[in-house]
Structure 1
Amino acid sequence: MTRTRPEAAVTPTEPLPDEALLRTVGVDVVRDGRYLLRDISLAVGPGQHWALLGANGAGKSTLLALLGAVSHPTHGEVHVLGRQLGRVDIRELRAHLGHVNPRHPLRSPLGVRDVVLTGLTNSIEPDLWHKPDADAVAHADHLLDLMGMADRADAVWPKLSQGERGRTLIARALMPRPRLLLLDEPATGLDLTAREILLSALDELRAEHPQLASVLVTHHLEELPETTTHALLLRDGETVAAGPVDEVLTTDLVSACFGHPVSIARHDGRWTARAARTAPTAL
């Protein structure tokens, strides 16, 4: 099959945020001589909610690792909360980010509330030297209520469904009151009901915290909350389009991103994608 690309990546038509919480400038990531990302420039401002979309292997998780100060670029600059990677203690920087890892390595039967409270110390198990005070516990309970998990606060981690774990981890990431929330495919593996509960919770979260910015990685448009404001489309590590969501999530650009004709529609704030039928190959 012949692969096509737009002649040039689409860039935002709106001004870049004056005080971007995240900014990448001409970023490349090269591993074993292969470009995982090439010339990625992005700016995320307060209150913006970005979706990173692309097929498997497009570079989404690699970019999220840069934005979460987990790894460094081969070339270019990455600025997180005004600090440039390579010139800052990334352990300190990570304390101000809400990074939701769906592969949270907890193995013990910790209670849901206690899992959320570990977000204060960014530890997997409770830090015995830092006991949470009453205000911290009240904040954890508020976040669990916001994520629709109030009635499961005393449940233990091994007994949770995948959807319940995901909402618990988002509450955990919000414990230190971060300015940024990074979500790596939070709806993966969820059934329809669990997915819709999660997306509704994210919409409510964003409404309650209007200055919070977020970046959500997915390869399914159906997994995007209504409150998504911007999108970046990646293909083979390169930008296909980036900017306001209504300008980027179009039939032509999403088709170019995934290398196949796809029809995009939006109803009641949510997106759907349907691949065009292809003619059968003659024998």
Structure 2
Amino acid sequence: MTVAGQGTLQAVPGAPVVDARDLTVVESGNTILRDVSVRLEAREHLTVLGPNGSGKTTLLRVLATYRYPTRGEVSLLGHRFGRVDVRALRPRVGFVSVALDPLVDAVPVLPLVAGGHRGTTAPSVRILADPDAVTAARQALTQVGARHLADRRVDTLSQGERQRVRIARALASSPDLLLLDEPFAGLDLGGRESLLADLDRLLTDPGGPTVVLVTHHLEELPPRISRALLLAGGAAVASGPIAEVLTSSQVSAVFGVPVIVERADDGRWRASGSPPGLDETVRLT
């Protein structure tokens, strides 16, 4: 199961990409996640929605191998936490977060993305001597519509351009699982729509990763997301096929405000305030 010389665990054939059961995370006496389960086969793309403090980012950190649950079982690509060195799984998992930005703000884009091929946090330009890393970086930048940014420096980019570079860096290692934590945060309308289109194309790539996307907003869901998990107070309120989960009544309950959920003919979702007197359990699809 290990790649010679690299120590990277490969996916077990036929195993789910994610098989997490009854996850509970307790910190300083506070239960952040409670009995949450997620199972994803290859190419089953999931969105995790919920208000602030509902446990979304904590769930992603568990799936990214950076946090162990207090209770429960987690297997990624057929490898169970506690039975393998999770560091050997990390090259197979792309985790997109703004947390690394202070380390790479003045780094040129191409070596930064090429470093993702090797799992390097803040690479030097010497990595450009590795033709495999450079090829992987250019391919990843192309996947997210950012090939033209290769020669720019990160601190000269707009928020939308930075987010494309973050995602490209995660894709450079050809991960089996891609975790996106609020990828549209800070983007204006144009930036959001452009990135949405690029992500939706990525979701159709037969050789691409299984994607888990965390957000607060239904309008930020690519049409090809197929499954949804609603979290509130650290617990799962609903989980399953997206059309069964994103109902007006369930979304209203999770966010604590009456909304009407609609899905357009092109597959895009939206949630709007419910007019006074309208039955909140109405479901529009």
- Could you tell me which of 96, 101, 111 is aligned with 2:92? 96
| SS of residue in 2 equivalent to 1:29 | strand
CA contact (8 A) 2:61 2:67 kept: yes
CA contact (8 A) 1:72 1:86 kept: no
CA contact (8 A) 1:69 1:80 kept: no
For the residues of structure 1 that align with 2:228 and 2:171, how far apart are their CA atoms? 22
| SS of residue in 2 equivalent to 1:86 | coil
Moved over 6 A (4+): none
- Could you tell me which of 242, 247, 255 is aligned with 1:245? 242
What corresponds to 1:219 in structure 2?
Answer: 216
What corresponds to 1:166 in structure 2?
Answer: 163
Question: 1:239-267: per-residue Cα shift (whole Å, max 9, x none)?
Answer: 11001111111111111211221100011
Question: 1:190-233: per-residue Cα shift (whole Å, max 9, x none)?
Answer: 00011111111111112223552110000111111111110000
Alignment size in residue pairs: 262
Which structure has more RCO (C-alpha within 8 Å, separation ≥ 6)?
A: 1
| SS of residue in 2 equivalent to 1:198 | helix
C-alpha displacement of 1:128: 7.6
| Residues 119-128 or 190-199, more deviating | 119-128
For 2:117, give the aligned amino acid: L
What corresponds to 2:36 in structure 1?
Answer: 40
Structure-1-length-normalised TM-score: 0.87
C-alpha displacement of 1:127: 5.6
| SS of residue in 1 equivalent to 2:60 | helix
Aligned Cα RMSD in Å?
Answer: 1.8
| SS of residue in 1 equivalent to 2:88 | helix
For 2:25, give the aligned amino acid: V
What corresponds to 1:155 in structure 2?
Answer: 152
Question: 1:123-177: per-residue Cα shift (whole Å, max 9, x none)?
Answer: 2221688665323322321221221112221111110111111101111101111
Structure 2 gap segments, 5+ residues each: 1-13, 278-285
**TM-aligned CA distance change 1:136 to 1:122, over 3 Å:** closer
**Quick one: percent identity of the two aligned structures?**
44
| SS of residue in 2 equivalent to 1:217 | strand
- 1:234 aligned onto 2:231: yes
For 1:179, give the aligned amino acid: D
**TM-aligned CA distance change 1:102 to 1:130, over 3 Å:** same
For 1:93, give the aligned amino acid: L
**TM-aligned CA distance change 1:132 to 1:278, over 3 Å:** farther
CA contact (8 A) 1:38 1:238 kept: yes
CA contact (8 A) 2:110 2:151 kept: yes
More helix by share: 2
For the residues of structure 2 that align with 1:129 and 1:210, how far apart are their CA atoms? 29
C-alpha displacement of 1:68: 0.7
For the residues of structure 2 that align with 1:159 and 1:26, how far apart are their CA atoms? 43
For the residues of structure 1 that align with 2:165 and 2:205, how far apart are their CA atoms? 17
CA contact (8 A) 2:111 2:123 kept: yes
For the residues of structure 2 that align with 1:166 and 1:78, how far apart are their CA atoms? 28
For the residues of structure 2 that align with 1:251 and 1:245, how far apart are their CA atoms? 12
**TM-aligned CA distance change 1:185 to 1:140, over 3 Å:** same
C-alpha displacement of 1:92: 1.4
What corresponds to 1:29 in structure 2?
Answer: 25
For the residues of structure 2 that align with 1:214 and 1:107, how far apart are their CA atoms? 24
CA contact (8 A) 2:143 2:202 kept: yes
CA contact (8 A) 2:111 2:128 kept: no
What corresponds to 2:47 in structure 1?
Answer: 51
For the residues of structure 2 that align with 1:226 and 1:76, how far apart are their CA atoms? 31
| Residues 53-72 of structure 1: pairs in structure 2 closer than 5 A | 53-72=49-68
CA contact (8 A) 2:141 2:168 kept: yes
What corresponds to 2:11 in structure 1?
Answer: none
CA contact (8 A) 1:36 1:59 kept: yes
For the residues of structure 2 that align with 1:211 and 1:242, how far apart are their CA atoms? 23
| Residues 122-271 of structure 1: pairs in structure 2 closer than 5 A | 122-126=119-123, 132-210=129-207, 212-267=209-264, 268-271=266-269
CA contact (8 A) 2:50 2:231 kept: yes
For the residues of structure 1 that align with 2:110 and 2:255, how far apart are their CA atoms? 40
- 1:76 aligned onto 2:72: yes
| Residues 252-261 or 235-244, more deviating | 252-261
